[in-house]
Amino acid sequence: MDRMDILENQSIYLIREARRLFPKIGLLWSMGKDSTALLWLCHKAFFGRIPFPVVHIDTSYKFKEIYEFRDEIARRLNLELIVWRNEKAISGGMGPSQGKKEDCCNALKTSALKEVIQKYGFQAVLVGIRRDEHGIRAKERYFSPRKKDFAWDYKDQPPELWNQFTTPVSDEEGHSRIHPILHMTELDIWRYIKREELPVIDLYLSKNGKRFRSIGCEPCCSPVESEAKTVDEIISELESSTTSERAGRAQDKENEYTMQKLRSLGYM
């Protein structure tokens, strides 16, 4: 098996394990490259179907291309799509220009996720984070239990050994985050996208000398200098790049430990 096969099989094993251990499970899909690769891995794991809901946490500040992409893929893969917004905060005017970015991420992403987990009674959600994205995400487990108040007890994470995981049995205890692509790097994701011929939002491809390397909310994402107009060109660009992926994400830059704070409160 080549590297791609090894990575894919590990992810599929984790996805199947998660669905077996948590009958009420959902997949968080942001339409970015990582969660789209995860969506495809789920589709493959269950032989051409995703037997659980796919959730989009919509901050209302996403790029318009993201919405178009979402609806097109949802139709093609016949997804059971749930779109969820923290309507109260949005109508209350919460946005990235209101105070700290951290507060906006907490309200529009973390709180919205809390609402949707409670509403649908999810015991677990599959999330497409990767270790190489950020030092804090590098500390994560494949199966990460979260308390009822959503907190990530990063000081006391449970052991994982030989594909045996911690699986809280009672719903009272909160939910679990499952991270099936934790072991993949940014370059792995692009090579996987190429191998599987997956569609990507064209914001990732260079226009006028710039492209987005990481996509979230429009006001908080800046493009990077790049001439990569195709997936192949992105791969060769990354093979020689020394700039990190989240260089264009505003919430990482406010403070060295913003990501730690966001994640300890339940951010994805």
H-type alpha helices, the chain: 3-21, 33-45, 64-76, 87-91, 101-105, 112-120, 186-196, 231-240, 258-264
If the CB atoms of residues 166 and 230 are measured against another protein, the closer one turns out to be: 166
Does position 155 bind another protein by CB under 8 A?
Answer: yes
CA 179 to chain centre: 9
What is the pattern of x (binds another protein, CB under 8 A) and - over residues 181-200? --x-x---------------
Does position 78 bind another protein by CB under 8 A?
Answer: no
**Contact with another protein (CB under 8 A) among 23, 161, 172, 208:** 161
Stretch that binds another protein, among 9-17, 58-66, 78-86, 210-218 (CB under 8 A): 9-17
* Contacts (CB under 8 A) with another protein, residues 40-69: 43-49
Residues 6+ apart with CB under 8 A from 205: 211, 228, 229, 230, 234
**Contact with another protein (CB under 8 A) among 93, 159, 208, 225:** 159
Considering only CA atoms, which of 77, 82, 83, 104 is closest in space to residue 93? Answer: 104
Considering only CA atoms, which of 146, 155, 134, 144 is closest in space to residue 258? Answer: 134
| Residues near another protein, by CB under 8 A | 1, 3, 5-6, 9, 12-13, 16-17, 19-20, 43-49, 131-132, 134-136, 138-139, 141, 154-155, 157-164, 166-169, 183, 185, 242-244, 247, 256-257, 260
